[in-house]
Each structure stands twice: as C-alpha cells, then as structure tokens.
Copies of this chain bind each other. A is one copy, B any other.
C-alpha cells in the first residue's frame, strides 16, 4: 500500500513533467495541474493562456473546468489538486469556489516571480486598499448594488453554490 507521501510525490512529479512539456510544445506558460479523487486522476490542465486567447486559462482553472465537466458538477469535494506551482490568487480563489479539499504544490510564488510571472505582485495588490492599487478602482451606486442580492434572497428556486 503506497503512503500518502509517495502518492503526493508521484502526482507532483507528473504535474512538473506536464508543465515542462507544455513549454516545449509551445502550449503556454510553465504550469500544470492534476485533480485527483480517491487516488485516481479526474482531470489535468496546463496553462493555455496564449494559445486560447484566455487570460483565465491557467493550469488550475483549466483542470477545475475539465474535472467539473467530467463529473457534471460545480463542486469538487474530496478531491486534491496537485499543481506544479503555488496557485496565483485567481487560481487559489477558484480552488475555494470549487470546494477542493486539498492542495499540494511544488514551486512557490517567489520562484514564479523570478521567472517573470505576476503572481507575487497580484498577491501584494490584493492586500492594498483600493486607492493604493495599480488598478484604478472606484465604487459607485453601492446602495443600488443591493438589488441583485434582494432578488436572490427572494428567489425560492435559486441553486446555491
């Protein structure tokens, strides 16, 4: 019976190989992710931002979309995501929204930053107040913005997520 540690090593090594291959095959950035349930692979994903004209097509998001499509669900409880690199805030957010149970990664955001990726910059931006962010940000019509939530509360047929 393989240990959890050896299983984790196996899937992380596979994600690293996939990420290297993704670069060599000109598919996109140096990232790959694998979603596993009961030690079986549900879906994999690599970074295909530049080849699909989709800035959200990071490895983890690609894997989450593929896994959900395969399982016909929008929630991936009891699944582990293995990523060749620490997820950026977008992908970490997606992991929470998908309700994945566990995250294992190899390289971290500092290594990603050294290779020219904005992960660390975006983590820092998120922590700033709106006025201090590089992204010009303003909030208007806050009260009117309550209307969609009002409609949501009043909708008895809503499907929560």
Which A positions have Cβ atoms within 8 angstroms of B? 8-9, 12-13, 16, 19-20, 22-24, 26, 28-32, 49-50, 53-56, 58, 61, 64-65, 68-69, 72-76, 84-86, 88-108, 111-112, 114-116, 118, 121-123, 125-127, 135-142, 144-149, 151-153, 155, 157-161
CA distance A131 to B55 in the complex (A): 29
Stoichiometry (number of copies)? 2
Name 26 interchain pairs, CB-CB below 8 A, sorted by A: A12-B140, A12-B141, A19-B147, A24-B151, A26-B155, A26-B158, A29-B161, A49-B97, A49-B161, A50-B159, A56-B94, A84-B148, A88-B93, A89-B126, A90-B97, A92-B126, A105-B145, A106-B139, A106-B142, A106-B144, A106-B145, A107-B149, A108-B145, A111-B146, A112-B149, A127-B127
Enumerate chain B residues within 8 angstroms of A85, measured Cβ to Cβ.
Answer: 145, 148
Given the known interface contacts A92-B89, A155-B24, the answer about A144 and B114 at a Cβ–Cβ threshold of 8 Å is no
Nearest opposing residue in chain B for A116, CB measure: B160
Provide the residues of chain B in CB contact with A151, threshold 8 Å.
Answer: 19-20, 23-24, 30
Contact flag A161-B50 (CB < 8 Å), given A92-B126, A93-B122, A98-B55: yes
Closest residue of B by beta carbon distance from A19: B148
B residues less than 8 Å from A112 (CB atoms)? 149
Which residue of the partner chain, among B29, B90, B102, contacts A152 with CB atoms under 8 Å?
B29
